[in-house]
Amino acid sequence: MMPLHPTESRALGAYRERFGGEPEVLASAPGRVNLIGEHTDYGGGFVLPCAVGRRVAVAAGRGLPDEPGVLFSSDFGEARPLQSEPGADGGSSWADYPRGVVWALGEAGYEAGGFRAAFAGDVPLGAGLSSSAAVEAATVLALDRLFRLDLDRREAALLCRRAENGYVGVQSGILDQFASLMCREGEALFVDCRTLEARPVPLDLDRANLSLLVCDTNAPRVLAETGYNDRREVSERAAKTLGLAELRDASPGDLERLGGEELRRARHVVTENARVLRAVEALEGGDFREFGGLMYASHASMRDDYEISTPSHDAFVELAREAGALGARLTGGGFGGCAISLVPSENVDGLKQATFSRFAKLALPRPDFYTFLPAAGARVVPGQPSGQAEANGGA
């Protein structure tokens, strides 16, 4: 049997302990960082994420006939009924993500019956590393296997987004679900969010002696949801002003026809899409310096034009520059959460220490750090009774 990720072992143990017996399927899915291409997905643009080594795992089985479905979280130590309305647990609940997947499957005409499931995860929560997409992606893979739905990965990602938009009520794009389901170890994934065509891009950081250092700023994400929805609305309005279906189709020349907030938001999106295309070329040519420069430019655009950065993000990006990082930027939806940097490996400790002391001086929350290598996407673990499968490649 292939080695299990710690979250997979925990989900398996939790299933045995909670429900007795063996699960029929064990699946897991990673969190992600987006390397470049922020707030471009919902305008049909380009993104370049990679998966990280933190995952959410689920062990599941069909249970007894007529048994009401149960969702158990080993991290929260609590069980929730599968059948429930969104928000029924009192505010937002981790259980709404798997429930949302079941709902989305039903809406799309797939029959997933009752099941029992135990979850375990180590993707930091609410840090902008897509813990929710990881729950959705692991759930959809497990249900695909359990009920023989025969979904392909694109379809699975679209169902997860539907769960997020229609059940959980967050108007996100396709970036996170796509990354969690489609990324592969040692690679980034270039995604055209309009056509949903995706191709791997090499990201051999070890060979270049570079580290992907992630700084979780721990900045409170107070405006995250309203700010996100507002940015989306304004950028969709800017497309309308230009008579375009999506901002993806706007050219730099079009920007002259916009003013004020619409101009700033659209300028970020137009220049960011162009940066993603150049970033892919840079990585394909092994030019990390060029790639890093694009990361810095992307951050400036998010700070000045999209206005989704925070003092913590800006301080970290400047410290990264001082520490000789090739690039650094906010990653994810913004208004808090993580920043990333591409740093010569020998400079990682120095950058961490400098950040701790500068943040303390500026009275900013103390950050957490992770160093990631591009990790594998979602998988069903082979060796479980109904899981003859494969890592990423066929759901």
Catalytic residues: 176
Q: Which of residues 178-237 bind ligand GAF (CB under 6 A)?
A: none
Q: Taking each helix axis as running N to C, give the angle between helix 288-301 and helix 260-284, from 0 to 180 degrees, rounded to the nearest 10.
A: 170
Q: Which whole-number Å values give the CA distances from 350 to 14, 213, 322, 373, in the listed order?
A: 39, 12, 10, 19
- Report CA torsion sign: 73, 217, 206, 293: positive
Instruction: Kindly state the smallest distance separating residue 204's Cβ from ligand GAF, in Å.
Output: 25
Number of residue whose CB is nearest ligand GAF: 172
Choose which of 38, 122, 254, 262 interacts with ligand GAF (CB under 6 A): 38
Is 173 a binding residue for ligand GAF by CB under 6 A? The answer is yes
**What single letter denotes the amino acid at residue 140?**
V
**Total site size for ligand GAF, rule CB under 6 A:** 11
Is 121 a binding residue for ligand GAF by CB under 6 A? The answer is no
Identify which of 63, 97, 95 has the alpha carbon closest to the alpha carbon of residue 172.
97
Q: What angle do CA 315, 358, 308 make, to 5 degrees?
A: 20
333 or 387, CB closer to ligand GAF? 333
Beta pairing class for 197-202 and 116-121: unpaired
In angstroms, the CA 54 to CA 46 distance is 24
74 or 172, CB closer to ligand GAF? 172
Choose which of 123, 146, 151, 175 interacts with ligand GAF (CB under 6 A): 175
15 or 167, CB closer to ligand GAF? 167
Is 332 a binding residue for ligand GAF by CB under 6 A? The answer is yes
Instruction: Kindly state the smallest distance separating residue 130's Cβ from ligand GAF, in Å.
Output: 6
Q: Is 9 helix (H, G, I), strand (E, B) or coil?
A: helix
63 or 332, CB closer to ligand GAF? 332
**What single letter denotes the amino acid at residue 251?**
S
Instruction: Kindly state the smallest distance separating residue 274's Cβ from ligand GAF, in Å.
Output: 16
Is 333 a binding residue for ligand GAF by CB under 6 A? The answer is yes
Instruction: Tell me which stretch binds ligand GAF (CB under 6 A): 36-44, 135-143, 319-327, 368-376.
Output: 36-44
Is 309 a binding residue for ligand GAF by CB under 6 A? The answer is no
With residue 228 as reference, give the H or E element that holds it.
Answer: helix 224-241
Q: Which residues contact 391 (CB under 8 A, 6 or more apart)?
A: 376, 377, 379
Instruction: Tell me which stretch binds ligand GAF (CB under 6 A): 35-43, 147-155, 279-287, 357-365.
Output: 35-43
Is 39 a binding residue for ligand GAF by CB under 6 A? The answer is yes
8 or 41, CB closer to ligand GAF? 41
172 or 347, CB closer to ligand GAF? 172
In angstroms, the CA 329 to CA 279 distance is 14
Strand spans (E) along 13-66: 25-36, 46-61
Residues that bind ligand GAF (CB under 6 A): 34, 38-39, 41-42, 172-173, 175-176, 332-333
